[in-house]
Structure 1
């Protein structure tokens, strides 16, 4: 890309303010936190429900960014940069991308559907890249923002594009169609995802089909519902398992040894094809990919040889604990320029150490000549302040001199043979490699070894849930996020890093040691300690934590230590008891509180807070309202008599939704961040964060009359196939979940728990399930949910989540 700011102005029909009309634009950005922003970046200041990028423009100018698309120029930024003023910055980003797309005239494959978009995109990239220089959407960049960012990555060397488009409601696809302008369309499976955004299935299909309104050809599974919306100028190219009138009729499929043989008829001839998958979704996605190859007139032998080599698509980037106190960012299955930029941003957002290492393979499909490509990669490495580069591959080895502190190996095997000579400790490591380099072997070497039960944490879901609740807040209302109890069992430091990246205002922990751990991990956000013991006050001061003070005795104890340390205006938080009767100053102690603090400059009241007892229960609405009213009255009295202006907050997760008019200055988000709501309707809009997974250790068949587990609490009435899972009550699975009460999911089927849950194991009935030793087991996640488990166990989701032992490995992914 090389567009001047002057040209950008005419593209966007913007009002121009600046003095450098010939300034050149090389990249586009929407993320103020990215270290890749530079003087040649055009920054679009997007405005969301509760986040406005205009607030960060002054900081961006300080880092060297000079070109901005805005709806207004911040007062303290006038005459300091080039500004293009528009009515809507998101619309402007989409207009810019649509214009940029119009500069290129090679074929574009556009994909949409409910499921399978990203997998088909990645498979098509694999199948077609030997013959084309492909540009494709990185990861799942298919949204109103992701699609324009994907398209803007095209360069002059590309000759085929593959872009996916995702929508969640009406009036979205039209905008994406103008940006992608596909010449060949692929409609994948239409399922129930995002059903809530559409009146019915018919409307969903109609909206998705808008992507193909000007496409030359559409590939789809034959359906009259779809055909109702195919444009007259678009050629239909259909496939079917049932309708012999389809262009490609799949007459039979045979499943053997984890592979499927498809028999299909095309243009009067019969063919067969092997693919290394047996599940229905993968088979359908493979057929969509096959249809593209048929449309492009690939030879049968090429189709067969390439389709046999299809692979499971790893669509997520994982954050893992590594050996020697390292943190690993595992993106070991792709190596292209765009995804490298994304992975480096993730490395920065999750960075726990000053030292940063990137292990990088040869980069493919960049569209740039190698000299230009590795110069750009080296620039990214410098921008992201990477301390060490380890390159693996013939090509990157040739360009070793482009990088400082770089060591290279020709192959992954060479790296592994020299592994013991390399020092990996106390650092963040990004592992980024093309699939052919088999970097999963490097991950295995560097990953901390634990048992095979893991709690997978979806960082994208946390971001989504955070933004869901932020969208409910009034402008300028701050947000504190609770990361106590090891992040509600999900992992405190990694989640705190993400929240810091999202620029929340405060973090909340229960005890000082939790806050100290976060500070030692590099967290710079202010951290409030909700239940500080008097003995921890010195440590709280030492680590710059902020204590909640809830009693006169505690206040005097803290003031004594603060005076001894000659503190001035040290931030504290005053807790009022308005009816919870757990901790806090009661109404009859408020006067003494005021008298103690009047004229005292040792501390500063940073906030005044209280806690609601029934914010989630409509039956106690009046009581909740009385708490809010008492809090307002008591906090106002303290503010007026001490002549201060603290932050006031009383609402927790349920309160945010149920008492929107009493947000005061800040709210405290807890369990909602982790995808759990007490409101069934609201629950539908939250994303599942944690999935507890294990494997099958052993399978055996017992005869009728035999028993399973301690106390013989399960007696087999017939021959029963039993699978043993290496997870038990020491990992946090309640014993009450056993004896047929609970179940796990194996190959998407329920397996009832037999007998008692043991300390380290549980046993399940797999008599009706086709499974093998080593197969994955879902303990909770999408099903069963933690809310379902809590209901069956007569407890609350908090207890289920926080009970998961820290010996269970946490794996974070995007």
Structure 2
């Protein structure tokens, strides 16, 4: 692989600055935070609207990285490493991957569509891996960056590739096509995902199928959208439920929890049983079946393998575990590439210095066993894993390659010895191939709570953070508010992610919130916005930074600072510019200056104020008056005290609406969690939290019967009612009941009947085909927290922060 990397980088349009450092390249990286970066890493310093990896090159050199692809060489790094200087590092990465792909000659399946790409890829891997050494995209690595990283993972032992390609705007696919160069194309369902990036459905379809320009064959379902787009008959390998002219004609029937597919292909007629009934899964399974037919698998093999298909979990999930542990659940696949991703995720979300990895035998690496487990051992070492628990015959054979390693031949052996393993105060990655049934291990380790959960999409948080960072002027810092338990979404886990993204400050309301974060290992500076005088000693002890908003509070803090003989301890001065909540008013500024002048126990780290109407254009004049007053008073403070503090005034709405008043730092709050007061901006943010539950019981009541306390709902006809185990004790407003509000079941609205109870609510499901145990969406994409807040006459903040701590938070990354 080393030689191919060197050959490929030389094919990019780069100027090589050779500083005589070693060129033994074995991996490619774009993430400066990864612990896997080292002397054999080629690092691409990607730049974008909201990030520039060049600023991390000096840090990377310190940890041993010697080879970089850059647009410029940072002045402090000249002669410190080898540099390939290019015009565009993303384009260079794509050119590099395209050449690297050209060095291998084996079948490659390219998958695109609106929905189902990752599921089809994973199922094809399952169906074909007994006969091929498969390289595939890890997780849903299907973007302009993900595709090249996936392709670069090919090695000499692979003989089949499966890569997915996703696009969101026109003209993106041409970059991915030249990297993947599929020999076989699979087009999955074309739906509404990313419609906003295209002028029309026609444009989107044309863009999607441009992936297949050089493919020998393309598999797709004949329908009105596809058939007119010039896929030549010689390429097309089609299927249909209704068009008997398709190459494969299929009928289906449902039996219990299965679907029986009757296949008519050429002169053959046979049946295939699959363990799904929903339309999406059936269509995805048929795409896989078509690939098996293309590869000329016999009827018996197709039948035997297709009936073993399984639900695919595409997310890395963070869950609360027993004994103060955190669990990262990645228990459905075990290959080298996805292990690297999971270990990076473990580092970004670790809640303890002690890190344990429970891992099964590693499959489909394309390496010899000795080489594979040597590389796995290097990964474990570079990620500073405290202990390894290996499960499987092969990893047991290579136990000697790992420090502090316990192995078991199978999952049953591990479970039998579980009580002796003492899981306590550690972060645990559970990473196993599906055949090992590691979900049983997750169930053992997971903290037991009820079946209502708030799922937090960490990818969406990262996206929203970068969305707002892109609006900032150069060198403007960002403080992110994680008060009120991260606006109800979970404080520590989000703080850890923000630390991973290297934000400048975290903001909390009260000292105990900050102390909890510090005790959990957060290193970022944390500002306490509403400190009580009685908390000052604890704030100093835990190295928090208080906001000081009154002379009384300042004198109390200075007294303690003197007693503790502090030296330039950071404080933040709050000015009241019109909010009239907290802060020094204009008539107290002179006394404030006199009190601070010459005092070396403290340092005024920042001066801040708070906007009252940054989201309301009707109060523009008032907002501008606040900005003007802040400029006047903060300038006076800085001048009289001869200091250069960080000045910050703008919250989420202000970032967008008052870009000229961003000063030195902004404070991002509700926007991080996917909520905006601006309807156009709201469309560009990603939903972060989805509150889910299940149906506990379904009953049918006759006309005239009532539902719930006080008989607030009376049935006017025979009505099917489902009970959901979530109520006002979980944070659901009672005002959302009595047919005002609704939940989503099977993508249909189910209105809430009667009053919301403490622990339950009831919904109408007369027209919904559902059963007990089915999933229920309380809020998320629909209904949104904005919609709920508007109906209740409140604000999204209240909806989010009302979700009680007894609702389990599950953090995941797609």
Q: CA deviation at 1:13?
A: 2.6
What is the match of residue 802 of structure 1?
Answer: 801
The corresponding residue for 2:410 is 411
Residue 811 of structure 1: aligned partner: 810
Contact 1:5–1:22 (8 Å) recurs in 2: no
Q: CA deviation at 1:689?
A: 0.7
The equivalent residue for 2:52 is 52
Residue in structure 2 matched with residue 3 of structure 1 by the alignment: 3
Helix, strand or coil at the partner of 2:503: coil
Q: 2-side partners of 1:5 and 1:42: how far apart?
A: 9
Consecutive unaligned residues of structure 1, counting only runs of 5 or more, are: none
* CA distance in structure 1 between the partners assigned to 2:9 and 2:41 by the alignment: 15
Give the conservation status (yes or no) of the 8 Å contact 2:50–2:467. Answer: no
Of residues 658-667 and 487-496 in structure 1, the stretch that sits farther from structure 2 once superposed is 658-667
1:264 Cα deviation after fit: 3.0
Comparing 296-305 and 149-158, the one that deviates more: 296-305
**Equivalent residue, structure 1, for 2:577:** 578
- The 1:809–1:224 alpha-carbon spacing in structure 2 relative to 1, beyond 3 Å, is closer
Report whether the alignment pairs 1:549 with 2:548.
yes
C-alpha distance in structure 2 between counterparts of 1:256 and 1:780, whole Å:
33
Question: For 1:739, what is the secondary structure of its paired residue?
Answer: coil
CA apart distance, 1:345: 0.3
Deviations 1:147-188 (A, max 9, x none): 110000001010000001111112211111111111111111
Equivalent runs, 1:108-507 vs 2, <5 Å: 108-223=108-223, 225-230=225-230, 235-250=235-250, 252-507=251-506
Q: CA deviation at 1:265?
A: 2.1
TM (norm. structure 1) is 0.98
Query: What is the rounded CA distance, in whole Å, between the counterparts of 1:148 and 1:456 in structure 2?
Result: 30
Q: Which residue of 2 aligns with 1:77?
A: 77
Distance in 1 separating the partners of 2:397 and 2:431: 18
SS at match of 1:684: helix
Deviation at 1:297, TM superposition (A): 1.1
Is residue 657 from structure 1 mapped to residue 656 from structure 2 by the alignment? yes
C-alpha spacing 1:27/1:15, structure 2 compared with 1 (3 Å): same
8 Å contact kept, 1:9–1:16: no
Q: Distance in 1 between matches of 2:650 and 2:261?
A: 57
Find the aligned partners of 1:735 and 1:22 in 2 and give their Cα distance: 66
For the Cα contact (< 8 Å) 1:213–1:230, is it kept in 2?
A: no
| Superimposed CA distance per residue, residues 456-508 of structure 1 (whole angstroms, 9 cap, x where no aligned partner) | 11111111111111111111111111000000000000000000001111100
Give yes or no for contact 1:50–1:475 (8 Å, CA) kept in 2: no
Query: How many residue pairs align between the two structures?
Result: 813
CA shift, 1:584, in A, is 0.9
**What is the alpha-carbon root mean square deviation over aligned residues?**
1.4
**Helix, strand or coil for the counterpart of 1:254?**
strand
Q: Which whole-Å deviations, capped at 9, do the CAs of 1:571-621 have from their partners, x for residues lacking one?
A: 111111111111111111112111211222111111111111111112112
Shift of 1:705: 2.0
With the length of structure 2 as denominator, give the TM-score of the two structures.
0.98
Match of 1:750 in 2: 749
Question: Higher mean Cα deviation, 616-625 or 330-339?
Answer: 616-625
CA distance in 1, matches of 2:668, 2:422: 40
CA distance in 2, matches of 1:669, 1:426: 31
CA–CA separation in structure 1 for the residues paired with 2:522 and 2:315: 25
- Structure 2: any 5+ residue segments left out of the alignment? none
Any idea what the Cα deviations from partners look like across 1:217-244, whole Å, max 9, x if unmatched?
Answer: 1111214543444465961111222322
- Give the aligned partner of residue 104 of structure 2: 104
Contact 2:112 2:165 in 1 (8 A): yes
Residue 806 of structure 2 aligns to a residue whose secondary structure is coil
User: CA separation in 1, counterparts of 2:78 and 2:731?
Assistant: 57
Shifted more, 230-239 versus 554-563: the winner is 230-239
Alpha-carbon shift at residue 267 of structure 1 (Å): 1.4
Find the aligned partners of 1:668 and 1:233 in 2 and give their Cα distance.
57
- Aligned-partner SS, 2:226: helix
Deviations 1:692-748 (A, max 9, x none): 111111222222222211111112222222211111100000111111111111122
Q: How does 1:590-601 map to 2 (within 5 A)?
A: 590-601=589-600
- Structure 1 residues 789 and 147 mapped into 2: Cα distance closer, same or farther (>3 Å)? same
- 1:753-778 per-position Cα deviation (integer Å, ceiling 9, x unaligned): 11111111111112222222211111
CA contact (8 A) 1:134 1:162 kept: yes
> How far has the Cα of 1:8 moved from its partner?
5.2
The answer to whether the Cα contact below 8 Å between 1:4 and 1:24 also exists between their aligned partners in 2 is: no
Give the Cα separation in 2 of the matches to 1:232 and 1:646: 66
The answer to whether the aligner puts 1:675 opposite 2:674 as a matched pair is yes
SS at match of 1:297: coil
Which residue in the other structure is 2:43 paired with? 43
Who is 1:728 aligned against?
727
